[in-house]
Amino acid sequence: MGKVRRTGLIEVPLGMSLRRVIYDVGGGLLKEFKAVQTGGPSGGCLGEEFLDAPIDYESLAAAGSIMGSGGLIVLDKHTCIVDTAKYFLNFTQAESCGKCVPCRVGTRHLVAILEKITQGRGEVADLKRLEDLGRAVKGGSLCGLGQTAPNPVLTALKYFRDEFLAHIRDKRCPAAVCRELVTYRIVKEKCTGCQRCVQVCPTGAISGPRSEPHNLDMTKCIKCRSCYEICRFDAIAGDAIVIES
């Protein structure tokens, strides 16, 4: 699943490398590889340095992830790792049965801290809070869901820490995903006027005749990111919003 050319259900032998699954079986990515999340919602986010690692229980566990349900979600450079960790923590938090406090309360606080970071209100101290709380949830939860739920955020912090710091220190989302931290504009020099962005914009914020550079009306833009994702010419730029501290 994810940003590979061919998605679907595959069967491969244990020990095959992530690189072979992603590039040979999956056909590679349309854009630059960033990470792969293994094992379902409770799996870890692993960077490029793990592409040649074998897919087996021991190797994934050593990297901080799991075999889990056997799922693989491939992420490209336009995916925000902080937003991704928040997405999976939201899922596991909602799935918590509520029986034990570490899982019931801990996952809720993990989500709250990640929300704070993606909104540009994070502090550097939040990173240690995430790590300490994640370890407490893993160690104190009664079942497998709580024991693995922090994996996405713990591995994201371990392998993509610079991206968290960009959100906190620079108030910037490098992948131009987090709505509170980005504003979009059209790069006139790159825009070919193909009108693909016009067709996907749900609010009619983008306009302009075919074969001429288009215009983006920020008063109508809801930052849905559709234009950014569909543009083949990198003519949609995501700029950081300056947030006063």
- C-beta contacts of 9-13 below 8 A and 24+ residues apart: 12/55
| Confidence (pLDDT) at 133 | 97
Tell me how far apart the alpha carbons of residues 102 and 93 are, in angstroms, rounded to a whole number: 11
Structural domain ending residue among the three candidates 169, 187, 216? 169
Do 85 and 164 sit in the same domain of this protein? Answer: yes
> What is the rounded CA–CA span in Å between residue 138 and residue 134?
6
Over residues 114-169, the pLDDT tens digits come to: 999 999 999 999 999 999 999 999 999 999 999 999 999 999 999 999 999 999 99
Q: What is the CATH number of the domain that holds 150?
A: 1.20.1440.230
Say yes or no: 87 and 127 in one domain: yes
Give 225's pLDDT tier (boundaries 50, 70, 90).
confident
Confidence band for 242, pLDDT divided at 50, 70 and 90:
low
Q: Is residue 9 part of a domain?
A: no
On whether both 91 and 122 belong to a single domain, the answer is yes
User: Mean pLDDT throughout 219-238?
Assistant: 89
Residues with Cβ within 8 Å of 120's Cβ and at least 6 positions away in sequence, in order, are 167, 171, 178, 180, 181, 241, 243
Question: How does the average pLDDT of the chain come out, rounded?
Answer: 92
User: Do 232 and 208 have their domain in common?
Assistant: yes
Residues near 41 by beta carbon (within 8 Å), at least 6 away in sequence? 88, 91, 92, 95, 152
Q: Is the pLDDT of residue 245 over 90?
A: no
The gap from C-alpha 34 to its chain's centroid, in whole angstroms, comes to 9
Percentage with pLDDT > 90 across the chain: 76
Q: Give the per-residue pLDDT at 126.
A: 97
The whole-model pTM stands at 0.84
Domain closes at, from 60, 76, 92 = 76
Q: How far apart are CA 85 and CA 153, in angstroms?
A: 5
Q: Of 166-180, 192-206, 217-231, give the range with the top mean pLDDT.
A: 192-206
- What pLDDT is stored for residue 2 in this prediction? 84
Is residue 191 pLDDT above 60, yes or no?
A: yes
User: Is pLDDT at 233 greater than 60 in this prediction?
Assistant: yes
183 — pLDDT class (breaks 50, 70, 90):
confident
The reported pLDDT for the residue numbered 240 is 67
Task: Return the DSSP state at 21.
Answer: I
- Whether 88 and 72 map to the same domain: the answer is no
Same-domain pairing of 161 and 94: yes
Does a structural domain hold residue 87? yes
60-77 burial, b for 16+ CB within 10 Å, e for fewer? beebbbbbbeeebbbbbe
- 77's tokens: 């450079």
70 and 87 in a single domain? The answer is: no
Same domain, 72 and 86: no
Does residue 202 carry a pLDDT above 90? yes
How many distinct structural domains can be found in the chain?
A: 3
Query: Could you tell me the CATH number of the domain that includes residue 47?
Result: 3.10.20.600
| Residue 68 and residue 30 share a domain | yes
Q: What is the pLDDT of residues 93-117, one digit of tens each?
A: 999 999 999 999 999 999 999 999 9
204 in the same domain as 191: yes
Q: How far apart are CA 28 and CA 132, in angstroms?
A: 36
Q: Is residue 116 part of a domain?
A: yes
Looking at residue 234, its pLDDT comes to 87
Please check whether residue 185 lies inside any domain of the structure.
Answer: yes
Q: Is residue 12 part of a domain?
A: no
What residues make up the domain containing 33?
18-76
For residue 1, being part of any structural domain is answered with: no
